Amino acid sequence: MTFVSPSVLACDFSHLADEVLKMEAAGADYLHLDVMDGHFVPNISFGPGVISSIRKVSRLLFDVHLMISDPGKYLDSFIRAGADIITIHAESNGDIGEMIDYIKEHDVRVGLAISPGTSYDVVMPYLDKLDMVLVMTVEPGFGGQKMIPETLDKCRVLRREITKRGLTTNIEVDGGINADNVWLCSSNGANVIVAGSAIFGSNKPRAVISKMKSECELHPFAG
């Protein structure tokens, strides 16, 4: 099953609620919320206040991607803001295992993200506890970049390991994905597709989302 998660980073923030509702109407499964602190990545986006505001207007699954140096300090705020999935980066500060446990104890799904330069090895000790692994397909920090296809090799290794362990963990990919290259993601084992500019930049978001899903169904994991 493929899930599409539009990234609001690419939306028109002067009409935030409308943009979110538009994604709901267009058939989005999740809503990807990129939190950036200007320290972990060289860009600043938004925080829990914005997320709790849009929580009031949307029932989509809130997929919160924390690109912040000290996620442990802010987990409570994002839980309170209404996150359904919280993804922390393996490269961030703090005890990764403790943060994973903390998120799960609060009945929020948990994801672990790896940047392009980080090996899948760092995910392996935590895999059994994770709901999702996020394999970054660009350097985190900005929307509108070009996908780095080599990062998809990691999805293949992770998908094989997930199957081997009998898990149902999702593999999310994020960065530079569009309806023309999404098949590379599904055929390498990813099943949650983040796309910002490809969806918000189109005047037919419903068509883009549905093409992405059908491309993924046409190109399942090739092993």
Which residues are catalytic, by number? 34, 174
Q: How many residues bind ligand DX5 (CB under 6 A)?
A: 21
Question: Closest distance between Zn ion and the C-beta of residue 120, in Å?
Answer: 18
65 contacts Zn ion (rule: CB under 5 A):
yes
Is the separation of the CB atoms in 173 and 154 below 8 Å? Answer: no
Q: Could you count the other beta carbons within 10 Å of the beta carbon of residue 132?
A: 20
Cβ neighbors of 87 (< 8 A, separation 6 or more) are 63, 64, 65, 66, 110, 111, 112, 113, 132, 134, 172
- Report the residue number, 103 or 192, with the smaller CB distance to ligand DX5: 192
Considering only residues 144 to 163 of the shown chain, the ones binding ligand DX5 according to CB under 6 A are 144-145
Question: Closest distance between Zn ion and the C-beta of residue 174, in Å?
Answer: 4
Report residue 103: phi and psi, to 5°: -65, -45
Question: Closest distance between Zn ion and the C-beta of residue 167, in Å?
Answer: 22
Q: Tokens for 115? A: 């940047």
Considering only residues 171 to 210 of the shown chain, the ones binding ligand DX5 according to CB under 6 A are 174-177, 194-198
Tell me which of 47, 141, 189, 205 binds ligand DX5, using CB under 6 A: 141
Find which of Zn ion, ligand DX5, none residue 192 binds, CB within 5 to 8 Å per kind: none
Kindly report the CA angle at 172 between 46 and 36, in degrees rounded to 5?
20
Q: Which residues bind Zn ion (CB under 5 A)?
A: 34, 65, 174
